[in-house]
Amino acid sequence: MKTISRQDPYAALRYSDFRFYISNTFLFSATILIQEVIVAYELYKMTHDPLALGLIGLAEVIPFIITSLLGGYIADQKNKTTIMHISLVVILFGSVILYTAFQPVIYNALSQGQHLAAIYLVFALIGFAKGFYSPASSSLKPFLVPRTIYHNSSTWSSSFSQAGAITGPAAAGFLYAYMGLTHTLLIVIANFVVCWILLGLIKTRPEFPKIVTPLMESLKEGFRFVFKTRIVLYAISLDLFSVLFGGVVAILPVFAEDILKVGPEGLGLLRAAPSIGSLLTMFAMAYFPPTRNAWRNMLIAVAGFGIFTIVFALSTNFLLSCAALFATGVFDSVSVIVRQTILQIYPPDEMRGRVAAVNGMFVSSSNELGAFESGVMAKAFGTVPSVLAGGVFTLIVVGWIYARSKDLFAVRLS
């Protein structure tokens, strides 16, 4: 590989495979969220039940958890881009099913229960595919750049992911409003095809000796590594509990429709606000990485996320709500970059897929579990109290982990 200064804020972008990787990351993130937002909004219009929104997360997370460990095991042995290609085809197939199910002839022929079943089955299919896609993607990234610029690659990959998370929800609201559900699903299908092409442009093919350890023992190795490496364990735990209990994304249609009364366009802006905050902060962190005082920054970031979740819960003003969500994105971006850098530096090369799978089980799946938790809590106790309680619990978790991890303040990741 070429020699590039680790102080260069654009160091990772000078590698073509990494550029193709993050371009795919951007488009994949945006497209997944476009589909999620428009289907969730349609579902809430259909049912007016926040629990129905939460069940989308549950439908996706169960197959994800079941398959992600196996996905990590396979990612440590097989061609990672091939795994991602196959997974994308499965996700694309799910989008085609959704497009077909919402065609007027079929839509009118199905009952509401049948529509709900079709939607949940598609999200279960997506969760199954992501169980293989996510560990393959996470474990591929470290091989695309030199180790000395891992923190820079984490910043840029997170930035492009967040850019997709901005573009997706914002575009979804306007596409839904002006093009309709089915035409937007056609755009989703076309975007996934482009993602498939971008992955094919990546030439790096890391290979390792075949794992001879039996499957179950090999999977346990990933868990053992995480639980014996305290900084990895605590970093994953902070993100897990903050997203699981502090996340509000799944029930934003309730806020948009019933509390703030801003419609699908407002929903798109609410969904995009955290990601705008994340993206702007991540660009700044390309120049000022948060990894020097990594653990201090991680704790402050998760605490800030909890505080502004509470602000959002109490707000009845659209602009204040957007500002609070923007601030959650600012703090979340710091947490994400520190955690991703930790997960690039600490695992050995031959175990990256399995460690990524464990991380996916506890962090990536927490988005979907958090969606289910939000739906259940909102139905049981009301939308605002459930979000308020999530923010408070996030602060409690930060305090507990702070008390147990003071020695990690000396860690330097860059």
pLDDT of residue 116: 87
The answer to which of 131-140, 235-244, 372-381 has the lowest mean pLDDT is 372-381
Nearest Cα neighbor of 50 from 413, 387, 390, 335 is: 387
Q: The tokens of 203 are what?
A: 């030439």
In a domain, 329, yes or no: yes
| Position with higher pLDDT, 14 vs 291 | 14
In angstroms, how far is CA 75 from the centroid of its own chain? 19
Domain enclosing residue 183, as ranges: 14-204+214-410
In a domain, 30, yes or no: yes
Nearest Cα neighbor of 354 from 127, 155, 131, 81 is: 131
Does residue 344 contact residue 141 with C-beta atoms inside 8 Å? yes
User: How many domains would you assign to the chain?
Assistant: 1
Using DSSP's 3-state secondary structure scheme, residue 160 falls into helix
In a domain, 2, yes or no: no
Does residue 243 contact residue 304 with C-beta atoms inside 8 Å? no
Measure the CA–CA gap between 219 and 75, rounded to whole angstroms. 12
% the chain with pLDDT above 70: 90
Question: Which residue type occupies 142?
Answer: P
| Position with higher pLDDT, 276 vs 311 | 311
In a domain, 6, yes or no: no
- pTM of structure: 0.70
Convert the pLDDT of each residue in 192-233 to its tens digit: 999 999 999 999 877 665 555 666 776 677 778 888 888 888
In a domain, 331, yes or no: yes
Convert the pLDDT of each residue in 338-365 to its tens digit: 887 887 778 877 777 777 777 776 766 5
pLDDT of residue 96: 95
Q: The tokens of 87 are what?
A: 């997974």
Mean pLDDT of the 271-276 span: 81
In a domain, 339, yes or no: yes
Q: The tokens of 359 are what?
A: 């991380």
Measure the CA–CA gap between 350 and 378, rounded to whole angstroms. 43
Please name the residues in contact with 102: beta carbons below 8 A apart, sequence gap of 6 or more: 42, 181, 182, 185
In a domain, 163, yes or no: yes
The answer to which of 5-9, 128-132, 157-161 has the lowest mean pLDDT is 5-9
Nearest Cα neighbor of 172 from 103, 267, 286, 56 is: 267
User: Any idea how long the chain is?
Assistant: 414
Split at pLDDT 50, 70, 90, the class of 369 is low
Return the CATH number at 343: 1.20.1250.20
Measure the CA–CA gap between 353 and 136, rounded to whole angstroms. 6
Counting runs of H as helices and runs of E as strands, what totals does the chain give? 16, 0
Convert the pLDDT of each residue in 220-267 to its tens digit: 777 788 888 888 888 888 877 777 676 677 778 888 888 888 877 788
Mean pLDDT of the 167-195 span: 89
CA-based torsion, 52, 54, 57, 59: positive or negative: negative
pLDDT of residue 1: 45
pLDDT of residue 364: 61
